[in-house]
Amino acid sequence: MSFSPELIALARYLAGEFDNQAQATAEPVWYVSLRLWHRPLPTPIFNHSITLFVEQANASTLDQPYRQRIMQLYSSPESPERLHVQYHMLKDMKAVQGGGRHVEKLRQLTPEQLEFLPGCRLDVTYQQLSANTYHFKANLPENTRCCFTSQNQTIQIDLGFEAMPNDFFSYDKGINPQTGQATWGALLGPFRFVKLQDFASELSIQP
């Protein structure tokens, strides 16, 4: 399967292990130190897509990662220059907990173990900075609600990010479904992650 240069660049920028230690050290009142993993799946599970396993952890408890999810990166069939990121939830998060650091936990993952999340699709725009360098921005379309159910509660998240060669800015915020107010996450601006380890070599892609 061949992909556009822009989709490949986005996948390469995302694939890796990140932290925001510099930000957390500079502004400890507002930002906790986190570790973030975007791990390419060893076996592709969607056609015409690049798929990443995502989880994060507090830097002080790396053995207790949380927020496991799947990012499906793809181009619009009608307009290949338009990129999208679709999120999926894992039905059994415990089964793949720690997959960011231990990729063997992801080898048997199948589409049947995922739950498609309607409304949790980001539209990606990009600016080409040089011949092989891009600045990507991903946001929910206007008037879209990304919601799912967890422990019999409705969870709403305002998703968004920016991706550059070695940086990832997360704008994710938890939203109170009743009031529409942000309650956690990037309340005062994005979490600014820097890539510590590159997983781009694990991507099964070709231009």
pLDDT digits (tens, 9 = 90+) for 39-61: 999 988 998 999 999 999 999 99
- Residue 88 is given by DSSP the state E
Query: 206 pLDDT exceeds 70?
Result: no
Domains along the chain with CATH numbers: 5-202 (2.40.128.590)
Per-residue pLDDT band for 207 (boundaries 50, 70, 90) equals: low
Compute the distance between CA of residue 38 and CA of residue 56 in angstroms, rounded to an integer: 9
pLDDT at 83 over 70: yes
What does the pLDDT average to over 104-127? Answer: 95
Measured over the CA atoms of residue 71, residue 74, residue 77 and residue 78, the dihedral's sign is positive
Cβ-based neighbour number of residue 141 at 10 Å: 10
Residue 150 pLDDT exceeds 80: no
Is residue 167 within 8 Å of residue 194, measured between CB atoms? Answer: yes
- In tens, the pLDDT along 163-178 reads 999 999 999 999 988 8
Mean of the pLDDT values across residues 180-194? 92
DSSP three-state, residue 22? helix
- The rounded distance, in Å, linking the Cα atoms of 67 and 43 is 21
Lowest pLDDT segment from 9-13, 20-24, 141-145: 141-145
Whether the CA torsion 98, 86, 36, 150 is positive or negative: it is: negative
Lay out the sheet containing 153-158: strands in order across.
146-150, 153-158, 173-175, 182-185
Output the CA torsion 193→196→202→205 (10° steps).
50
pTM of whole model > 0.85? Answer: yes
pLDDT digits (tens, 9 = 90+) for 87-105: 999 999 999 999 999 999 9
Pairing of strands 191-198, 167-170: antiparallel
Give me the mean pLDDT over the 76-83 stretch. Answer: 86
Closest CA to 92 of 72, 119, 70: 70
